[in-house]
A and B are shown apart, each in its own frame.
Chain A
Amino acid sequence: MKVLVVDDFATMRKIIKNVLKQISLEDVVEAESGKHALAVLKTESVDLIISDWIMPEMTGIEFLRVCKGDEAYKKIPFIMVTAEAQKDNIMEAIKTGVDNYIVKPFTPDKLQDAIDKARARVGK
């Protein structure tokens, strides 16, 4: 399974990659913004998107909106990562069609569970 990790902070992308490695997901492509992620999606076939919320150029919610509105990408399970369990943010993401969300800090088990639920939601 190829995972697209989107975060403007390189260290956070590495942390997520390290957690993914612990659940045997080592095929990872990275992007530093929603805009960059859309460019990556044009060249890479990915099976899962894990995106940060706050990013420059195109935020996570804007990127989610584009993905869920595009026939080519809407079936890719999309997990939003947020630092704070803010109900308003989460509700907005759910309304926009996010398949699951995860709040930092998280364990490998918690991420695996979030992935399983997101994949089930899109029927994968």
Chain B
Amino acid sequence: MDVKFINPFVMAAQTVFKTMLGIDASMGKPILKDVRATSGDVTGIMGLVGDRKGTIAISFREKGAIFVFKTLIGDDCTTITPEVVDAIGELTNIISGQARKEFEKANINLKAAIPMVIVGHNVELNFITKIPIISLPFNFVADNGEKEVMFLDFSFE
């Protein structure tokens, strides 16, 4: 996979964390995944088509997903609810939109489908490409001081 496909996703994730959640997310070491399954407990997945095609999956562990919900919506919550699932879907939508904006700068025009959200760890995912999946871990600190991670998994060609 061309390395120029990674930067739009990195830029998108970090911009959305800063603007919508008001926190910094630092990227850890990218991993090549050979398992096509969810990395966390709540995962938003979205297909991208146009000049190129690919799939993006945004995945949080339970506590990270709850933190995102509380920060985005401003309500309290202690467990995964349909509202938490919807919030991860919207975050996926926003990150995807920001990534498409970054791709436009490289003259790559993409359209996105409506995101689907899957609850459960290691649930099989259908990526629309056959090439390996790159998993980008973004580390952040949640409101209780706990270290959390968002996995941005994508396959793009």
Contacts and interface: CB of A to CB of B under 8 A. Distances in A.
Contact of B72 (A15, A103, A106): A15
Given A21-B74, A84-B101, A105 B94 contact: yes
A20 B22 CA distance: 15
Interface string B79-118: 0000100110110011001101100100000000000000
Contact of B83 (A11, A12, A107, A110): A11
A11 to B, nearest CB: 4
Interface stretch (B13-21, B33-41, B143-151): B13-21
B98 A10 contact: no
Contact residues on B (Cβ < 8 Å of other chain), bracket: 20 to 34
A10 B87 CA distance: 10
B96 to A, nearest CB: 8
Main secondary structure of the interface of B (DSSP, over half): helix
Interface string B46-81: 000000000000000000000000001111000000
Contacts, number: 47
A12 B90 contact: yes
B72 A105 contact: no
A12 to B, nearest CB: 6
B97 A106 contact: no
B73 A83 contact: no
A124 interface: no
Nearest to B12: A105
Interface string A84-124: 11000000000000000001111100100000000000000
A2 interface: no
A15 B90 CA distance: 9
A21 B15 CA distance: 21
A105 B16 CA distance: 6
A106 B97 CA distance: 12
A83 B86 contact: no
A97 B60 CA distance: 41
Given A11-B83, A12-B90, A15-B72, A107 B19 contact: yes
Interface in B115-148: none
A18 B19 contact: no
Given A15-B72, A106-B19, A107-B19, 8 more contacts: A11-B73, A14-B74, A15-B90, A18-B72, A21-B74, A104-B98, A105-B98, A107-B22
17 contacts: A9-B86, A9-B90, A11-B73, A11-B86, A11-B89, A14-B72, A15-B20, A15-B87, A18-B73, A18-B74, A21-B74, A84-B97, A85-B101, A85-B104, A104-B94, A105-B16, A105-B20
